[in-house]
Structure 1
Amino acid sequence: MEFSVTTTGEQTELSLTGDLQIMHANEMRDVLLQHLTTVQNLTINLTEITNIDVCGFQLLYATRLSAKKMSKNV
Protein backbone atom coordinates (compact mmCIF):
# COMPACT_ATOMS: atom_id res chain seq x y z
CA MET A 1 0.00 0.00 0.00
CA GLU A 2 1.20 3.47 -0.89
CA PHE A 3 -0.27 6.90 -0.27
CA SER A 4 0.12 10.49 -1.34
CA VAL A 5 -1.17 13.70 0.18
CA THR A 6 -2.40 16.79 -1.64
CA THR A 7 -3.50 19.95 0.16
CA THR A 8 -5.50 22.70 -1.52
CA GLY A 9 -6.56 25.50 0.78
CA GLU A 10 -8.35 23.94 3.74
CA GLN A 11 -8.93 20.58 2.00
CA THR A 12 -6.47 17.69 2.26
CA GLU A 13 -6.78 14.59 0.09
CA LEU A 14 -5.14 11.34 1.12
CA SER A 15 -4.93 9.08 -1.94
CA LEU A 16 -4.38 5.39 -1.28
CA THR A 17 -2.97 2.94 -3.83
CA GLY A 18 -2.77 -0.86 -3.76
CA ASP A 19 -4.13 -3.14 -1.05
CA LEU A 20 -5.88 -1.96 2.11
CA GLN A 21 -5.77 -5.17 4.09
CA ILE A 22 -4.91 -6.41 7.56
CA MET A 23 -1.20 -6.62 6.72
CA HIS A 24 -1.18 -2.82 6.30
CA ALA A 25 -3.50 -1.96 9.19
CA ASN A 26 -0.92 -0.59 11.64
CA GLU A 27 0.78 1.57 9.02
CA MET A 28 -2.52 2.84 7.67
CA ARG A 29 -3.91 3.60 11.14
CA ASP A 30 -0.84 5.74 11.87
CA VAL A 31 -1.15 7.60 8.55
CA LEU A 32 -4.86 8.26 9.03
CA LEU A 33 -4.47 9.47 12.61
CA GLN A 34 -1.53 11.69 11.71
CA HIS A 35 -3.52 13.48 9.03
CA LEU A 36 -6.76 13.51 10.96
CA THR A 37 -5.14 15.35 13.87
CA THR A 38 -3.44 17.96 11.69
CA VAL A 39 -6.21 18.96 9.24
CA GLN A 40 -9.86 19.98 9.49
CA ASN A 41 -11.12 18.53 6.19
CA LEU A 42 -9.79 15.19 4.97
CA THR A 43 -10.86 13.34 1.84
CA ILE A 44 -9.74 9.73 1.51
CA ASN A 45 -9.44 8.79 -2.15
CA LEU A 46 -9.86 5.02 -2.66
CA THR A 47 -10.06 4.96 -6.47
CA GLU A 48 -6.67 3.22 -6.79
CA ILE A 49 -7.32 0.60 -4.08
CA THR A 50 -7.14 -2.84 -5.71
CA ASN A 51 -8.10 -5.00 -2.70
CA ILE A 52 -9.75 -4.21 0.61
CA ASP A 53 -10.72 -6.59 3.40
CA VAL A 54 -12.93 -6.26 6.47
CA CYS A 55 -10.03 -4.85 8.47
CA GLY A 56 -9.62 -2.09 5.87
CA PHE A 57 -13.32 -1.21 6.07
CA GLN A 58 -13.17 -1.20 9.89
CA LEU A 59 -10.19 1.14 9.79
CA LEU A 60 -12.01 3.57 7.50
CA TYR A 61 -15.13 3.44 9.69
CA ALA A 62 -13.08 4.02 12.86
CA THR A 63 -11.46 7.00 11.16
CA ARG A 64 -14.89 8.43 10.40
CA LEU A 65 -16.02 7.97 14.01
CA SER A 66 -12.83 9.57 15.34
CA ALA A 67 -13.28 12.52 12.98
CA LYS A 68 -16.82 13.04 14.20
CA LYS A 69 -15.67 13.09 17.84
CA MET A 70 -12.98 15.62 16.91
CA SER A 71 -15.48 17.79 14.96
CA LYS A 72 -13.52 17.17 11.76
CA ASN A 73 -14.76 16.33 8.27
CA VAL A 74 -13.86 13.09 6.49
Structure 2
Amino acid sequence: MHIDAQQENGICRLQMEGELTIYHSLEIRDGLMGHLAANAEIELDLSGVTEMDTAGFQLLLAAKREGTRLGKAVRFVSHSQAALEVIDLYNMAAQFGDPLLLSARQ
Protein backbone atom coordinates (compact mmCIF):
# COMPACT_ATOMS: atom_id res chain seq x y z
CA MET A 1 0.00 0.00 0.00
CA HIS A 2 1.27 3.39 -0.97
CA ILE A 3 -0.25 6.66 0.29
CA ASP A 4 0.55 9.83 -1.63
CA ALA A 5 -0.27 13.06 0.25
CA GLN A 6 -0.97 16.39 -1.44
CA GLN A 7 -2.12 19.70 0.04
CA GLU A 8 -4.81 21.45 -1.96
CA ASN A 9 -6.89 24.44 -0.78
CA GLY A 10 -6.25 23.62 2.88
CA ILE A 11 -7.23 19.99 2.46
CA CYS A 12 -4.81 17.08 2.79
CA ARG A 13 -5.73 14.70 -0.03
CA LEU A 14 -4.45 11.16 0.49
CA GLN A 15 -4.33 8.98 -2.63
CA MET A 16 -4.33 5.34 -1.53
CA GLU A 17 -2.83 2.81 -3.95
CA GLY A 18 -2.79 -0.96 -3.48
CA GLU A 19 -4.09 -3.37 -0.87
CA LEU A 20 -5.85 -2.03 2.20
CA THR A 21 -5.43 -5.26 4.16
CA ILE A 22 -4.21 -6.65 7.45
CA TYR A 23 -0.77 -7.17 5.92
CA HIS A 24 -0.29 -3.40 5.69
CA SER A 25 -2.52 -2.29 8.57
CA LEU A 26 0.17 -1.03 10.96
CA GLU A 27 1.88 1.22 8.41
CA ILE A 28 -1.47 2.45 7.08
CA ARG A 29 -2.75 3.21 10.58
CA ASP A 30 0.38 5.15 11.47
CA GLY A 31 0.20 7.11 8.22
CA LEU A 32 -3.50 7.91 8.54
CA MET A 33 -3.26 8.97 12.17
CA GLY A 34 -0.18 11.08 11.45
CA HIS A 35 -1.94 12.95 8.65
CA LEU A 36 -5.03 13.32 10.82
CA ALA A 37 -3.00 14.83 13.66
CA ALA A 38 -1.30 17.31 11.32
CA ASN A 39 -4.31 18.46 9.28
CA ALA A 40 -7.75 19.91 9.98
CA GLU A 41 -9.32 18.26 6.95
CA ILE A 42 -8.48 15.01 5.17
CA GLU A 43 -9.87 13.55 1.98
CA LEU A 44 -9.00 9.91 1.30
CA ASP A 45 -9.16 8.95 -2.36
CA LEU A 46 -9.94 5.22 -2.46
CA SER A 47 -9.89 4.85 -6.27
CA GLY A 48 -6.54 3.02 -6.16
CA VAL A 49 -7.54 0.46 -3.52
CA THR A 50 -7.26 -2.92 -5.23
CA GLU A 51 -8.22 -5.08 -2.25
CA MET A 52 -9.76 -4.37 1.14
CA ASP A 53 -10.41 -6.74 4.02
CA THR A 54 -11.96 -6.33 7.46
CA ALA A 55 -8.77 -4.82 8.89
CA GLY A 56 -8.69 -2.21 6.13
CA PHE A 57 -12.33 -1.39 6.70
CA GLN A 58 -11.68 -1.01 10.43
CA LEU A 59 -8.83 1.43 9.70
CA LEU A 60 -11.12 3.63 7.63
CA LEU A 61 -13.80 3.51 10.30
CA ALA A 62 -11.24 4.35 13.01
CA ALA A 63 -9.95 7.32 10.97
CA LYS A 64 -13.50 8.62 10.54
CA ARG A 65 -14.27 8.23 14.26
CA GLU A 66 -10.97 9.79 15.35
CA GLY A 67 -11.61 12.72 13.04
CA THR A 68 -15.03 13.21 14.61
CA ARG A 69 -13.54 12.98 18.10
CA LEU A 70 -10.93 15.63 17.23
CA GLY A 71 -13.41 17.87 15.40
CA LYS A 72 -11.68 17.30 12.07
CA ALA A 73 -13.26 16.48 8.71
CA VAL A 74 -12.45 13.08 7.21
CA ARG A 75 -14.03 12.23 3.85
CA PHE A 76 -13.74 9.24 1.55
CA VAL A 77 -14.01 9.87 -2.18
CA SER A 78 -13.72 7.96 -5.47
CA HIS A 79 -14.40 4.55 -3.96
CA SER A 80 -12.92 1.62 -5.87
CA GLN A 81 -15.02 -1.47 -6.51
CA ALA A 82 -13.03 -3.32 -3.82
CA ALA A 83 -13.84 -0.62 -1.25
CA LEU A 84 -17.52 -0.50 -2.23
CA GLU A 85 -17.88 -4.26 -1.88
CA VAL A 86 -16.59 -4.27 1.71
CA ILE A 87 -18.62 -1.20 2.72
CA ASP A 88 -21.71 -2.85 1.23
CA LEU A 89 -20.92 -6.20 2.88
CA TYR A 90 -21.02 -4.56 6.31
CA ASN A 91 -23.94 -2.31 5.34
CA MET A 92 -21.99 0.71 6.58
CA ALA A 93 -22.51 3.29 3.83
CA ALA A 94 -24.56 5.52 6.14
CA GLN A 95 -21.89 5.33 8.86
CA PHE A 96 -19.34 6.91 6.55
CA GLY A 97 -21.72 9.67 5.50
CA ASP A 98 -19.92 10.25 2.19
CA PRO A 99 -21.40 9.80 -1.29
CA LEU A 100 -20.43 6.38 -2.64
CA LEU A 101 -19.33 6.92 -6.21
CA LEU A 102 -17.22 4.68 -8.39
CA SER A 103 -13.97 6.15 -9.59
CA ALA A 104 -13.41 6.81 -13.29
CA ARG A 105 -11.14 3.74 -13.36
CA GLN A 106 -14.16 1.41 -13.05
Shorter-chain TM-score: what band? over 0.9
Q: Tell me which residue corresponds to 1:37.
A: 37
TM-score, normalised to structure 2, is: 0.68
Larger Rg: 2
Give 4+ residue runs of structure 1 displaced > 6 Å after superposition. Answer: none
In structure 2, the residue matched to 1:9 is: 9
Greater share of strand: 1
In structure 2, C-alpha distance between the alignment counterparts of 1:9 and 1:58, rounded to whole Å = 28
Query: 5+ residue gaps in structure 1?
Result: none
| AA matched with 1:39 | N
CA RMSD, Structure 1 to Structure 2 (Å): 0.6
Count matched residues. 74
> Secondary structure at the residue paired with 1:42?
strand
- Tell me the TM-score normalized by structure 1: 0.97
Q: Deviations over 1:21-64 (max 9, x none)?
A: 00000000000010000000100111011000011000100110
Structure 2 spans left out of the alignment, 5+ residues: 75-106
Greater relative contact order structure (CA < 8 Å, 6+ sep): 1
